[in-house]
Structure 1
Amino acid sequence: MLPQTTTTLLLTTLPLASAHGFVQYITPLPPNPSPTVHLGYDPGFRFSSPAPRVAGWYADNPDIGFVPPSSFAHPDIICHKSAVPGATHIPVRAGTNLTLQWLTWPESHVGPVMDYLAACPGGDCSVVEKTGLRFTKIAQAGLKEGVTGGTNWLHAWRVDDLIRRDNFTWTVTVPEGLKAGAYVLRHEILALHSAWEKGGAQACTYLIPDGPGRYILPTGSSRSSRNPCSFLKLW
């Protein structure tokens, strides 16, 4: 077994497509060193001066809306509109889980849920330039097991569990033995209800690991807008 590492997580979970919600809370689960509830970024913080210092990335989305298809090639697609790194971090341990608690998510906005990690150049995610991040997928969940042609399309996807079973909560596992450093965790729900257009629902999470782990992420990349999986029309 790879040695455990302690990871500091600066979390940004940002809804994009027709996604009417945002990640309110981030909770590292035991045996994490800080198994308490942490605030994500709330769009209402824009009306506070100064804004609360939280782990979630700050974004210009007061309408809790989405990044439109016309901005697919714009940096907004990375971590939401005009997003900048969060001001604080959350300590977690590699190989353990944390939960992301969404405010809400529309029932009709089904599709795959994916999680990515990117190492921050220079070892400091608080000042990272998001366009320089290269993400590696660490988890994905699409259709449920046992889905058939007769399954109600609203209930065929794992995101349905997030909505109806798990009270808008998603669980992410930090890779076992992750090498110490600074990372961004990107949480994405790709809404396919209007997939005849280029677009999707993305979210980011800022992560900084520290400890004896040796696992180095493969060099990631940016996703192409021509990915055929982004055009799986459901309606």
Structure 2
Amino acid sequence: MVAFSKLSHFGALLLLSLSALPGARAHGQIKGVLANGVYSNGPNIYWDADPANEQTAVRKMYQAAGPSYVLPQDFADNSKMACEGAAGAPKTVTASAGSFVRVDWVGATGELDGKPGTGNVPPGQNPWVHAMGTVASYIAKCTNGDCTTYDASQGSWVKLAMFGIDRTETISDGLRETMKNKPEEYYPTPGTSGLWGMARFVQAGSSWNVTIPEGLANGHYIIRQEVGAVHNPWNAQDDSSGTQLYIGCVQIEVINGGNTELPKGAKAGSLYATDSAFARYNVYEDNGKTFVDPGPALWPSSSNAKREEHSGVSSSVNDPTKCNAGPKLKRMRKVKRSVQVIA
């Protein structure tokens, strides 16, 4: 994994001091993206004057002092659910149709630093701190042709992939041990199979790949990467409870594409109901047994999901351990067209 360039001394000190505050616990954000072999840093939410904020294609998910995730009561809010209300980033990254865009995330606290099961995380970079929940990828076209000024709340979001829970696998012994009270014990409990997408994400070094559909028409799009944590089940008496959606948006320009246009999608506030099973899921009572992937149908087609089910994965999911394949992926598909590699 490619690491960020170092923050300024001031920015680094501010980052450390803020991440130590109780209110910053469980926060996290996109650290950077790898597309077409080029790495682009995410924004510095702790120091607006960081030069990185003028060069990033990642929308600023939240201000350091604000909420870092969306709770069920706001699932109907098109702005918060699109990109956590974030305005446009100043840049875009270029990605070839059919390639992987790798999205690296970072936790704001060091609870899991150096712990077993957290993958190949570079020194000094905090792993993501939760392991129960979903990882999903959506895409929307910037209909004004300029994602830097596009209002994401108006986006028509199409679901490319979702990894909920794979009941044919289970968490690694190392990460299960690590998660005991750091910050919460992992469910499904020992002896019950079930690998959450978020656990796979943590085991892969807090990185995930998003496949740009092969043949997608050239143009400007936003990738909406969503990490849905279920460790704090909904309680009617607690307005801070329920599934937590961490939503990051990456502005991309698709090149080397074809003639395929995105189908009609959904407004972000229509992806999940505020009182849905997903919003109110209780992992401790259910132990992962009846969870169903939420949200709209997958695109490009359900056949992709079926092919991946045959590979032992219950949801449409990109391989989070492989780097951007770029145009090479198209050549690989000619050789092995019917199988998508799964970690």
- TM-score, with structure 1 as normaliser: 0.78
2-structure distance, mates of 1:180, 1:220: 18
Q: Secondary structure at the match of 2:248?
A: coil
Aligned match of 1:111 in 102, 110, 133? 133
1-structure distance, mates of 2:103, 2:38: 12
What percent of counterpart residues are identical?
23
1-structure distance, mates of 2:103, 2:227: 12
The answer to whether the 8 Å contact 1:56/1:206 transfers is yes
2-structure distance, mates of 1:49, 1:99: 22
The equivalent of 1:209 in structure 2 is: 254
Give the CA RMSD over aligned residues. 2.7
- How far off is 1:157 after superposition? 0.7
Aligned match of 1:96 in 71, 95, 99? 99
1-structure distance, mates of 2:232, 2:69: 13
Q: Which has the higher helix share?
A: 2
The equivalent of 1:189 in structure 2 is: 227
2-structure distance, mates of 1:212, 1:98: 15
Q: Residues 70 and 39 from structure 1, CA distance in 2 versus in 1: closer, same or farther, beyond 3 angstroms?
A: same
Bigger RCO (CA 8 Å, 6+ sep): 1
Supply the AA of the counterpart residue of 1:158. Answer: G
State the Cα deviation string for residues 98-140 of structure 1 (Å, max 9, x = none). Answer: 21111122235x2111100111122221111121101000111
Query: Is 1:139 the counterpart of 2:161 in the alignment?
Result: yes
The equivalent of 1:9 in structure 2 is: none
- TM-score, with structure 2 as normaliser: 0.55
2-structure distance, mates of 1:62, 1:194: 21
- How far off is 1:39 after superposition? 0.4
Query: Is 1:200 the counterpart of 2:245 in the alignment?
Result: yes
The answer to whether the 8 Å contact 1:154/1:160 transfers is no
1-structure distance, mates of 2:155, 2:192: 34
Structure 1 unaligned runs (5+)?
1-17
- Pair member with larger Rg: 2
- How far off is 1:42 after superposition? 2.3
Q: Residues 147 and 182 from structure 1, CA distance in 2 versus in 1: closer, same or farther, beyond 3 angstroms?
A: same
